[in-house]
Amino acid sequence: MEQITDTFQIEDTHYASFANKTKISIEKGQGIYVYDEKGQKYVDFTSGWGVTSIGHANPVITKALVEQSKKIIQNPNSGATYSPARSKLISLMQKEVLPENLTRVFFANSGAEVNDAAIKLARKATGKLNIISTKKSFHGRTISTVSATGQNKHRNKFNPLIPHHLFVPYNDITAMAQIITQNVAAVILEPIQGEGGINIPDENYLKKLSNLCHKNDVLLIIDEIQTGFCRTGSMFTSDKVKIDILTMAKGIAGGFPFAAFAMSEEVHDKLEVGDHGGTYCGNPLGCAVAYAVIKYMLDNKICENVETLGQFALAELMKLQKEYPDLIKDLRGKGLLIAIEMADEDIAASLNSKCFDNGLLLNVTQGNVIRMFPALNISKEEMEEGLEIFKNSLIEIS
């Protein structure tokens, strides 16, 4: 008890208060469950914002961490020397994960960092200026990625932002066509907008966008930071379209801070030594963990599990929506990225807090959208357990 008071008190006093925190201090996790300092168990349907893709404390991650850290964590001269851990990950990604035309990959530490690199390198590769992104998009919290983010709440306070960012409504190909001729280096787009409320575009939107970009010599950067690595039931949500740069993070290393971007040979040809880098980029420890996570996903057919359980969860939630149409305004999702849009922000807040009281951790975005994105290796029984708590909590607040 004393320990808990200390944790809350120390963080509340000395940790920068950038988040509205839930009063829970998590000490450990196992699979989809987490435990607070008192030993109270919770079902985690947030997976640390879509990160702990293969569950908490997965032994394959622990093994990779231990084995690699006994060998080496950081190379001499970092990325300027070769690493077997890095090359093993590159091979696996080239053979089993990345779209065929994305033959060059680079590793980094966070989603914002790889989006930042993609924007920077797209300008260099094309010699053009403007970057188009979409309204309600989210691409990160660095100064360049807030400049590319289409939500005023993330932008307004930080002026001056990086110039030459243009915005169009999401899923609107006509609006895109109208500005794509204006000295545009790249379009950056989430194949499903995550933080913006889980907005799913029309089926052909990505294909049309890809054609439009390539017709106008504009690079297409697809941000799969939230949607990649089986989250929506396939390795990437943009699997079927031709893209030029793909950015990845979150689920790629199951909770270890790691990210990647991959690009076509044509883009890579326009870049040169010194254009990019970073002290921790491609460090062997991160590479070993990412390799273990991706291998686990492939060996255990995690994308298939996501597809099946995503459909199951949506069907169960639809039954609830039918019973409580005044509370649940809309339901949408793909795989295990599910939005339950509540009638208003107060209802979302009280349902979220009731679920917390009943032992289920959820995430709320855009005020009234409850986002469910559990670990991707969740079992049907575990999914039922979480949904049961959700249902009971909904009944209680109704």
Ligand X SMILES: Cc1ncc(COP(=O)(O)O)c(C=O)c1O
Catalytic residues, which ones? 138, 223, 250
- Closer by beta carbon to ligand X, 83 or else 193: 193
Asked whether 199 and 193 are in contact (CB, 8 A), the reply is yes
254 close to 54: Cβ distance less than 8 angstroms: yes
Q: Find, among 359, 301, 371, the residue nearest to 334 by Cα.
A: 371
Q: Which is nearer to ligand X, 31 or 111 (CB)?
A: 111
> Rounded to whole angstroms, how far apart are CA atoms 230 and 298?
10
For 86, the token pair is 């890095």
* Closest residue to ligand X using C-beta atoms: 111
Minimum distance from residue 113 beta carbon to ligand X (Å): 7
Strand order in the sheet with 245-248: 104-108, 259-263, 245-248, 219-223, 184-189, 130-134, 165-168
Tokens of residue 292, six digits: 């273990």
Do residues 62 and 72 lie in contact, with contact meaning Cβ atoms separated by under 8 Å?
no
Yes or no: say if 260 and 109 are a contact pair by the CB < 8 Å rule: no
Comparing CB distances to ligand X, the nearer of 139 and 165 is 139
- Residue 171 C-beta: closest distance to ligand X, Å: 16
CB of 310 to ligand X, least distance (A): 18
Which CB sits closer to ligand X, 196 or 310?
196
Contact assessment for residue 241 and residue 207, using Cβ atoms and an 8 Å cutoff? yes
Instruction: Kindly list the residues in this chain that would bind ligand X in the complex (CB under 6 A).
Output: 49, 110-112, 115, 138-140, 190, 194-195, 223, 225-226, 249
Between 61 and 225, whose beta carbon lies closer to ligand X? 225
Q: How far is the CB of 51 from ligand X (least distance, A)?
A: 8
Task: Provide the minimum distance between the beta carbon of 366 and ligand X in the complex, in angstroms, as a whole number.
Answer: 13
SS (H, E, C) 289-301: HHHHHHHHHHHCC
Sheet holding 360-361, edge to edge: 26-30, 33-36, 41-44, 360-361
Cβ atoms of 192 and 199 closer than 8 Å: yes
Least separation, in Å, of the C-beta of 224 and ligand X? 8
